[in-house]
Amino acid sequence: MSKEKILVVDDEEDILELLKFKLSREGYHVTGAASGEEALSCVRSGTPELIVLDLMLPGIDGIEVTRELKNDPDTKNIPIVMLTAKGEEADIVTGLELGADDYITKPFSPRILIARVKAVLRRKEKASQDKTSVIQIHDLVIHPGRREVIVNGDPVQLTFTEFGILNYLARRPGWVFTRTQIVDEVRGEDYYVTDRSVDVQIVGLRRKLGPAGKYIETVRGVGYRFKS
On whether both 72 and 164 belong to a single domain, the answer is: no
Residue 146: Cβ-neighbour burial (10 angstroms; 0-12, 13-18, 19+) = exposed
On whether both 149 and 42 belong to a single domain, the answer is: no
On whether both 109 and 158 belong to a single domain, the answer is: no
On whether both 17 and 44 belong to a single domain, the answer is: yes
On whether both 182 and 85 belong to a single domain, the answer is: no
* Series of mean pLDDT values for 10-residue runs along the chain (228 residues): 85 95 95 96 93 92 93 90 77 79 87 90 68 81 88 91 90 86 70 71 93 93 86
- Nearest to 18, CA basis, from 35, 2, 30: 30
Q: What is the pLDDT of residue 185?
A: 76
Q: What is the pLDDT of residue 1?
A: 44
The pTM for the full model equals 0.62
On whether both 81 and 14 belong to a single domain, the answer is: yes
On whether both 26 and 117 belong to a single domain, the answer is: yes
Q: Which of 88, 109, 128 is the last residue of a domain?
A: 128
H, E, C per residue of 10-64:
CCCHHHHHHHHHHHHHCCCEEEEECCHHHHHHHHHHCCCCEEEEECCCCCCCHHH
Q: What is the pLDDT of residue 39?
A: 96
End-to-end CA distance of the chain: 44
On whether both 117 and 192 belong to a single domain, the answer is: no
